[in-house]
Chain A
């Protein structure tokens, strides 16, 4: 082997005839910024490749250890797909060339190799390799930039959610607890409906602020210790459209989803709900799920004018609404999720004072 240690790019040349290597070494001097690294043993060359990254490999076909084709197969099978390989053959054997191409050869030259043809081919192959690496590096950098951007968007989105949840908690802790419970109920019901982990997570997050519109309710309505009447009910109903206005400035996917849930979670499956009167599957799916979760949380929580309904009564009422207020298959999933819902009630209980 003849190799220098300075930082020139390496062109690996493998031929069991030393005089052939001598000629190749000389030809390689015509390729700028490269040097030949020569082996008469194809096995030694293969071992060298494990620790080195030549820009080009020239390999003779007929050799006593590994033949040229065997060398190419072995190198490619070790994961080297990028290094261009020129196979040198004694004859223009088409079958041999087809076989070599299948195994990963890049080009062929016949002996005796014409130096002008060789230098031209070598330069082109080295340039192609460089362009490929450059392209891969650019693609990698672009992907990394996109990931960084996505991470930044997610981080901003998470911060926005945390702030909005905190604002709800500070304005009215009962509404905050209710939102927390509804989000957990909805996630559990979604699980029984076959939602993916990502969908469940999105639903749980977005549902956390489904009642954000209540922030704009007058105190006399929000904190009233009694049943809402007349104008108070109308003021309360406004929370679904106020939510849309509050969240309109946000343009991230999860916050848009949250806005949709806040907007439509009081629609009813039969079209008798508000604010639009959407019917059936025209109501966004997550809003349909939150509608069931919201009702279960509301029924099983104390109100100033009534005690909390028992779980069995709440379930009975919700089941009666299947096909009317709620989509039947969501009611079915709600029933299936009951063990989880009971656990959640224990984890986030309703802390309203008894009447």
Chain B
């Protein structure tokens, strides 16, 4: 199990209060957006473009942190920092770790949806 929580929902619950449907809707939208950013990240890595990698990692970090996807946000931050430092070191490994973390996040989101349905 990762040290950083996959989905920390308390912040959204504080903001949305009892609007659990609103939270579920936001999570779905974030996962959809995240998929696009993931694709952009893979594309950047495939083309060897650190700028594209940095932008995609930054977007993943921001949007996942926004919904409490802290594990994804932490890995994306590492990728962004490496790219910003103009280094490929660790990026491939972190990209794989990011995919895995995203899967866990999707599972956690689905579990949340089921819990509030």
Contacts and interface: CB of A to CB of B under 8 A. Distances in A.
B18 to A, nearest CB: 12
A310 B61 CA distance: 98
Interface stretch (B44-52, B64-72, B92-100): B64-72
Contacts of A23: 12, 15, 26, 66-67
A344 B113 CA distance: 97
Contacts of A90: 58, 61-62
B33 A112 contact: no
B62 A17 contact: yes
Contact of B11 (A20, A62, A112): A112
Nearest to A60: B62
A252 interface: no
B22 A115 contact: no
Nearest to B70: A112
B63 A19 contact: yes
B15 A115 contact: yes
Contact of A111 (B14, B16, B22, B65): B65
Interface residues of B, number: 20
Interface in A29-82: 60, 62
Tell me which of A18, A19, A20, A26 has the highest count of chain B C-beta atoms within 10 A of its own C-beta. Answer: A19
Contacts of B75: none
A309 interface: no
Contact of B68 (A26, A27, A112): A112
A22 interface: yes
B29 interface: yes
A255 B29 CA distance: 79
A122 to B, nearest CB: 13
Interface in B29-84: 29-30, 33, 58-59, 61-63, 65-68
Given A17-B33, A23-B12, A26-B16, A112 B66 contact: yes
A68 to B, nearest CB: 12
Nearest to A89: B62
A60 B63 CA distance: 12
B112 to A, nearest CB: 15
Given A90-B58, A90-B61, A115-B11, A19 B66 contact: yes
A115 B14 contact: yes
Nearest to B63: A17
Contacts of B26: 19, 22-23
Nearest to B67: A19
A119 to B, nearest CB: 10
Contacts of A26: 15-16, 19, 22
Closest 5 CB pairs of A and B: A112-B65, A19-B30, A115-B15, A17-B63, A19-B29
